[in-house]
């Protein structure tokens, strides 16, 4: 049990279950240290359906070259693989559970049939270890979405069971012109005594590591741009606990979509910081006005440290837009 939790006479064993550390001997998939998350997942085509395969496993995941977590994740990646589809597609997603506990997958924000919604014990019997469940839906929306475990969510999403779901619109003009695109998917971790606990908004369980697309700064991706180019940056609140005020240096951006829905031009607005809460998505366009290294980072400075320590100018929720002439 993490120190600091307040025990009372009535604290039940059940309340402890979801906060336990991942046991290192539960790791059942080997991943290379250099593994990157959010990699494109290719579907097969079957009878007019795009069919995807997700597999939930336990694996060691490097958030920094010298720091790994014992993660629950999809297809050996944190975030899980990127499912990128088109508006109008017919979709099937087979989910196989190799976790030591039941799970489900919820398709956050999608219009679909209730029994495909993935709310464990509400809309379906959770997928038991060793079982496969097939989700099916038609993509009637477009924009930035994500998927995540919806069973013991406080534990499972915290341990890495989430991934990006992007639906390209039929009408390409719906997305403003841009030269580069970057997903900024947030997550919080608790590593203590070499063990990975699910980070929770609870005394004794607060996170001490923070990741963008599964990596802590300085291991986060650097985005190369040229002066005058536009970046479409898609913030995703795939984390469980904090609202992260995500800030970009070098001048304001324009918020063009929220939660997958494009904002009409009259509702678009300029800002230099957006509060990205758990579950939210914000798409923004940032123009590279001047050359140099411009930061994207959370404005809660503790979230730009790694276990309370700044490394090479920061940590955690930080990445660089590297703009050349």
Interface positions with Cu ion (CB under 5 A): 244, 298, 300, 303
Q: Find out whether 259 and 108 touch, Cβ atoms under 8 Å.
A: no
Q: Of 28 and 201, which has the nearer Cβ to Cu ion? A: 201
Q: Of 60 and 299, which has the nearer Cβ to Cu ion? A: 299
Q: Of 54 and 219, which has the nearer Cβ to Cu ion? A: 219
Shortest spacing between CB 191 and Cu ion, in angstroms: 17
Question: CB atoms < 10 A from the CB of 204, how many?
Answer: 15
CA distance 222 to 211: 14
Q: Of 55 and 188, which has the nearer Cβ to Cu ion? A: 188
Shortest spacing between CB 54 and Cu ion, in angstroms: 28
Q: Of 202 and 263, which has the nearer Cβ to Cu ion? A: 202
CA distance 25 to 169: 44
Q: What is the CA radius of gyration of the chain?
A: 20
Task: Specify the pairing of strand 80-86 against strand 244-248.
Answer: unpaired
Is the torsion defined by CA of 32, 17, 122, 276 positive or negative?
Answer: negative
The angle formed by the CA atoms of residues 147, 149 and 151, to the nearest 5 degrees, is: 150
For residue 145, give the DSSP letter: E
Residue whose entry in the numeric block shows the structure tokens 């998917």: 185
Q: Find out whether 91 and 137 touch, Cβ atoms under 8 Å.
A: yes
Alpha helical stretches, state H, the chain: 13-17, 153-156
Shortest spacing between CB 225 and Cu ion, in angstroms: 24
Shortest spacing between CB 73 and Cu ion, in angstroms: 22
Q: Of 153 and 239, which has the nearer Cβ to Cu ion? A: 239
Is the torsion defined by CA of 312, 194, 17, 58 positive or negative?
Answer: positive
Shortest spacing between CB 223 and Cu ion, in angstroms: 19
Shortest spacing between CB 111 and Cu ion, in angstroms: 30
Q: Of 53 and 303, which has the nearer Cβ to Cu ion? A: 303
Shortest spacing between CB 212 and Cu ion, in angstroms: 11
Residue whose entry in the numeric block shows the structure tokens 């050349």: 324
Which tokens sit at 205?
Answer: 């369980």
Which tokens sit at 34?
Answer: 């250099």
CA distance 282 to 246: 10
Q: Of 137 and 206, which has the nearer Cβ to Cu ion? A: 206
Shortest spacing between CB 318 and Cu ion, in angstroms: 10
């Amino acid at each position: 049990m993490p120190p600091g939790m307040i025990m009372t006479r009535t604290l039940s064993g059940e309340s402890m279950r979801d906060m336990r550390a991942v046991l290192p001997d539960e790791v059942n998939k080997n991943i290379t240290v250099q593994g990157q998350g959010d990699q494109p997942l290719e579907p097969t085509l079957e009878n007019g359906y795009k069919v995807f395969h997700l597999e939930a496993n336990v694996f060691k995941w490097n958030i920094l070259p010298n720091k790994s977590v014992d993660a629950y994740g999809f297809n050996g990646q944190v975030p899980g693989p990127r499912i990128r589809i088109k508006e109008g597609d017919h979709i099937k997603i087979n989910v196989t559970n190799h976790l030591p506990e039941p799970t489900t997958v919820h398709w956050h924000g999608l219009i679909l049939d209730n029994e495909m919604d993935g709310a464990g014990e509400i809309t379906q019997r959770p997928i038991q270890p060793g079982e496969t469940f097939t989700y099916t839906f038609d993509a009637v929306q477009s924009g930035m979405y994500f998927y995540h475990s919806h069973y013991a969510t406080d534990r499972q999403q915290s341990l890495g069971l989430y991934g990006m779901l992007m639906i390209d619109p039929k009408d390409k003009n719906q997305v403003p012109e841009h030269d580069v695109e970057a997903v900024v998917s947030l997550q919080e971790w608790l590593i203590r005594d070499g063990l990975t606990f699910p980070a929770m908004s609870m005394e004794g369980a607060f996170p001490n590591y923070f990741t963008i697309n599964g990596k802590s700064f300085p291991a986060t991706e650097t985005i190369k741009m040229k002066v005058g180019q536009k970046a479409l940056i898609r913030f995703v609140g795939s984390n469980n606990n904090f609202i992260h005020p995500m800030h970009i240096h070098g001048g304001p951006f324009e918020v063009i979509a929220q939660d997958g829905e494009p904002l009409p031009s009259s509702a678009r607005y300029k800002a230099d910081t957006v509060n990205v809460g758990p579950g939210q998505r914000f798409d923004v366009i940032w123009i590279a006005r001047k050359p140099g290294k411009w930061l994207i980072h959370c404005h809660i400075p503790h979230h730009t440290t790694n276990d309370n320590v700044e490394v090479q100018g920061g940590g955690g929720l930080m990445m660089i837009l590297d703009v050349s002439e």
